[in-house]
């Protein structure tokens, strides 16, 4: 795939997948809710576990990290051609 083809695909992707934007917004909201829920739970229990909050946050953002990794690999592959 050429760089131009990749750019065109990304442009088409954003046009075609309006539902994906909605899904991404829902995923972000779920991520925020999970972290805030963990903070509330810890407050109710009188605990402070920053590591647990970090793990909850990492789990919630895993899909974003994986997508970014795949995009970076695609761009790297194009630049190596």
Instruction: Report the chain's C-alpha Rg in angstroms.
Output: 18
Please give the angle made by the CA atoms of 12, 59 and 77, to the nearest 5 degrees: 40
pLDDT band at 61 (very low <50, low <70, confident <90, very high): confident
Domain boundaries, the chain: 3-80
pLDDT at 12 over 80: no
Report the predicted TM-score, pTM, of the whole model to 2 decimal places.
Answer: 0.60
Question: How far is CA 20 from each of CA 15, 24, 36, 81, rounded to the nearest angstrom?
Answer: 10, 6, 24, 30
């Amino acid at each position: 795939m050429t760089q131009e083809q990749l750019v065109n695909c990304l442009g088409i992707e954003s046009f075609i997948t309006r539902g994906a934007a909605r899904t991404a917004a829902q995923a972000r909201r779920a991520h925020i809710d999970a972290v805030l829920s963990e903070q509330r739970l810890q407050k109710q229990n009188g605990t402070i576990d920053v590591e647990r909050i970090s793990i909850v946050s990492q789990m919630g953002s895993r899909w974003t990290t994986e997508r970014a990794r795949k995009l970076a690999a695609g761009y790297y592959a194009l630049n190596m051609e």
